[in-house]
Amino acid sequence: MNLDDLRPGSECLVKRLHAHDKLGQRLMDMGVYPGLAMKVIRNAPLEDPMELELDGYYLSIRHEEARFVEVERR
C-alpha cells in the first residue's frame, strides 16, 4: 500500500521509499524514512496535495509524490 492511498485520519508506518534521486533524497531529508510513524491529516480543498504529521511537524506533499512511499497501516 502506498501513502497516496490513505484517507485523512489514517495512521501508518513507512516501509520503503521507491523514489530515486531528488524525490527520494528530499523525502529522506524532510524526515521520511522506513520505520517512521505518521498520520495523514487532511487533503487540500481540491484533494491534492495532502498534509501529513510526522514527529510533531507537518508536511504537505502531492499525491503523485506520495505514490513512491510504501506504507503499512497501523
Partner 1 sequence: MRGKKALLALAGQPNCGKSTVFNALTGASQHVANYPGVTVEKMTGSYRYDGMKVEVVDLPGTYSLTSYSPEERVSRSFLLHDKPSVVVNVADASNLKRHLYLTFQLMEMGVPLVVDLNMMDVAEKRDIDIDTQELSRQLGVPVVPTAIKQGRGKKELFKSINSVAGSERSPEPFHVDYGSMEPYLTEIENEFSKNGVLSKDYPGRWLAIKLVEGDNEARKLIREHHSTPGKVLEFIENKRQEFESKHNEKPERHIAFSRYKVADTISRSCIKPRAVSKQPLSDRADAIICHKFLGPLILVGVIYLLYYLSIVQGYNITNYTWPLLAKIRSITESFLPAPGFIDTPLVRSMTLWFVDSINALLNYIPIFFILFGLIAILEDSGYMPRMAFILDRIFNRYGLHGQSTLPMVLGGIYIGGCAVPGVMSCKGIPCERARFATILTIPMLNCLAKVPLYVLMINIYFAEYKGPAMFFISTISLLMVLPVAKILTRTVLRNKDTSPFIMEMPPYHIPTIRGVLGRAVERVWIFIKKIITIVAVIAIVIFILLQFPGLSDERKAYYDTEKDRAIAGFYQKIEENPYAEYVQGGNLMALVLYWDKYKNAKMMAKGKEAASAVNEKFKAENPAFFTIVQPKRDKEAKSVNKAFKKLFSARKKLLREIKKEKIDNSFLGRIGRAMEPYTKYAGFNWRVNVSLLASFAAKESSVATLGALYEQEVEGESLETRMEKGEKGFTALHALALMLFMVLYPPCVATSIMVKIQTGQIRWMIFSMAFPIVLGTCVATLIFSGGTALGLTGLQAMIAFYCLALAITIGTGFIKNKSKTT
Instruction: Give the one residue of 58, 72, 73, 74 binding partner 1; rule: CB under 8 A.
Output: 58
Rounded CA-CA distance 25/6 in Å is 22
Contact between 45 and partner 1 by CB under 8 A: the answer reads: yes
DSSP 2: B
Q: Where are the alpha helices (DSSP H) in 1-74?
A: 21-29, 63-66
Least distance to partner 1, CB of residue 55, Å:
6
Look up residue 23 and give its amino acid: L
Contact between 53 and partner 1 by CB under 8 A: the answer reads: yes
List residues near partner 1 by CB under 8 A: 17, 19-31, 33-36, 41-42, 44-49, 51, 53, 55-62, 64-65, 68
